[in-house]
Amino acid sequence: GASSVEDLLVRAHDLGYRALALTDHDNLCGAMHFAQVAKTLDMQSITGAELTIKDKDGKDGSHLTFLAENQEGYSQLSNLISYSYVAADRRNPALDLKYMPDRINGLILLTGCRAGRVPSLLAEGRYTEVETQLRQYLDWFGTDNVFVELQQNLVQGDTQRNRRLIDLARKLGVGVVATNNVHYHVPERHRLQDALVSIKHNRSLEE
At residue 206, φ and ψ (nearest 5 deg) are -65, -40
Give the integer Cα–Cα distance in Å for 3 and 197: 13
Give every CB contact of residue 194 below 8 A, 6+ residues apart in sequence: 205
**pLDDT tops 80 at residue 128:** yes
Q: SS3 helix, strand, coil % of the chain, rounded to 5?
A: 45, 20, 35
Closest CA to 34 of 67, 9, 59, 65: 9
* Confidence at residue 167, expressed as pLDDT on a 0 to 100 scale: 95
Taking the CA atoms of residue 147, residue 113, residue 162 and residue 160 in that order, the dihedral angle to the nearest 10 degrees is: -160
Q: Which pLDDT tens digit goes with each residue over 44-99? A: 999 999 999 987 665 558 999 999 999 999 999 999 999 999 877 778 899 988 88
Distance CA 131, CA 171 (A): 9
Q: What pLDDT is recorded for position 156?
A: 82
* Confidence at residue 58, expressed as pLDDT on a 0 to 100 scale: 56
- Cα(26)–Cα(42) distance, integer angstroms: 27
Give the pLDDT band (50/70/90) at residue 137: very high
| Three-state DSSP state, 118 | helix
Strands 175-179 and 146-151: what pairing?
Answer: parallel
143-193 confidence digits (pLDDT tens): 999 999 999 988 888 899 999 999 999 999 999 999 988 889 999 999 999
Mean pLDDT of 29-43: 96
One-letter amino acid identity for 204? S
pLDDT reported for residue 5: 94
| Buried residues in 116-151 as b, exposed as e (16+ CB within 10 A) | bbbbbbbeeeeeeebbebbeebbebbeeebbbbbbb
